[in-house]
Amino acid sequence: MNPGSPVHAIPDMFQPVSAPAEAIRQLWWLVGGISIGILLVVGGILWWCATHFRARPGEDREPPQVYGSNQIEFAWTIVPVLIVLVLFLATARTIYDVQAMVPPKDALEVTVVGHQWWWEIRYPGLGVVTANELHVPASVPGARRPTFLTLESADVIHSFWVPQLAGKTDVVPARRNRMWVEPTETGTFLGQCAEFCGTQHANMLLRVVVDSPADFAAWVEAQKRPAVADPRVAVGRAVFESTACVSCHTVAGTGADGTFGPDLTHLMSRATIASGAADNAPDRLRAWIVDPHAIKPGALMPAMKLPDDQVDAVTAYLSTLR
Ligand SMILES: [Cu+2]
């Protein structure tokens, strides 16, 4: 949609662009600072004791032994308790602040469903369904527009994590978890399933494309349209519709209405396929259809064993789904 906007290749939690991630970074610096402080003090005392009290040449007696000191016992109980209290209060406040956010009435609502090993993305209010690449509008001063996510799972526990936007939230079967993001910068932000969910867990990547409000509106309009029937790829379409592809994939405006795999209506609007396992380039797309397991071993799409000419035709058809 917006080819000029940057892809942030490193999902760096120290470069937040959204309120919940900013709160987490601030908390990290407090917790990290205190922890580094403790490390230095304890390590320093240890080093000082080890060098200062070591036996000198010619010393053969044990040093005086000290048994019990109420003052020392008292100090090393109270000080850690106070430190833990500070960490607890700061953490509780951050969690509360993030969770207390009530969706404003023009918030965008998105449902994300974790599958082995891809993300289904639905915009219930807009009638849009896509996969793996979540588009959200940037929140701009004067027209704040946070996005609220409802997280569901189709199978096992996954976890939704885009470090520059928000903290991790688990995606648990038979539960609805909620989280929100409010990015203030456009660009593509990368994330990853953060809960081991089977063989292809590591290839369950996430891309969040933050569009300007105008680009986002244009993207929604394009996604709402059904697939355009292009007579030049009628053969490929016929192959697609006469094989099992249709029992797992939806192409809006055709008879294909499977929901086991990603919606393909606007496949070409995505930069990657198979949850980031491959670029969405013609040769990769063809290789995927020939044998998904060559790209993503264990993926839940079978190798369809189509003859070469049919693979070419189906690839040509899919390439028209913009
Ligand atoms: Cu997962």
In a domain, 218, yes or no: yes
Mutual orientation of helices 70-99 and 19-52 as an angle, nearest 10°?
Answer: 170
Q: Is 38 a domain residue?
A: yes
Domain, as residue range, for 41: 19-54+68-99
Question: What SS3 state is found at 194?
Answer: coil
Q: Which two tokens stand for residue 137?
A: 């509008």
Residue 296 C-alpha to ligand 1 middle, in angstroms? 14
pTM, two decimals, is 0.91
How far apart CA 298 and CA 284 sit, in angstroms, is 17
- The predicted-structure confidence for 73-89, as pLDDT tens digits, reads as follows 999 899 999 999 999 99
Among the listed residues 290, 301, 249, 268, the one whose alpha carbon sits nearest the alpha carbon of residue 1: 268
134 Cα: distance to centroid of ligand 1 (angstroms): 16
Residue 61 within any structural domain of the chain: no
Residue 156 lies in a domain: yes
Q: How far is the CA of 118 from the centre of ligand 1 (A)?
A: 7
pLDDT tens for residues 272-316? 999 999 999 999 999 999 999 999 999 999 999 999 999 999 999
Ligand 1 centroid – CA 196 distance (Å): 6
- Residue 192 Cα to ligand 1 midpoint, Å, equals 8
Residue 198 alpha carbon to ligand 1 centre in Å:
7
* 121 close to 129: Cβ distance less than 8 angstroms: yes
Q: Write the pLDDT tens digit of every residue in 28-72.
A: 999 999 999 999 999 999 999 999 988 888 888 888 888 888 998
Give me the chain's average pLDDT, please: 94
> What is the arithmetic mean of pLDDT over 132-156?
95
Task: Using the 3D structure, point to which of 198, 223, 248 is the last residue of a domain.
Answer: 223
Q: Does residue 62 fall inside a structural domain?
A: no
Residue 11 lies in a domain: no
Pairing outcome for strands 272-273 and 278-279: antiparallel
- On whether both 113 and 90 belong to a single domain, the answer is no
- Pull the structure tokens for residue 315: 């690839």
User: What per-residue confidence (pLDDT) applies to 88?
Assistant: 97
Domain count, the chain: 3
For residue 89, the CA-to-ligand 1 centroid distance in Å is: 32
Q: How many helices and strands in the chain, by DSSP H and E?
A: 8, 13
Q: Looking at residue 1, what is its pLDDT?
A: 44
Note the helical H segments in 225-281: 234-242, 245-248
Structural domain includes residue 117 = yes
CA–centroid distance, 82 to ligand 1, in Å, is 38
CA of 77 to the centre of ligand 1 (A): 42
Do 243 and 316 touch, CB atoms closer than 8 A? Answer: no
Distance 162 CA to ligand 1 centre (A): 13
Q: Are residues 157 and 260 in the same domain?
A: no
Cα–Cα distance between 221 and 201 in angstroms, integer? Answer: 32
- Measured in angstroms, how far is the CA atom of residue 253 from the centroid of ligand 1? 30
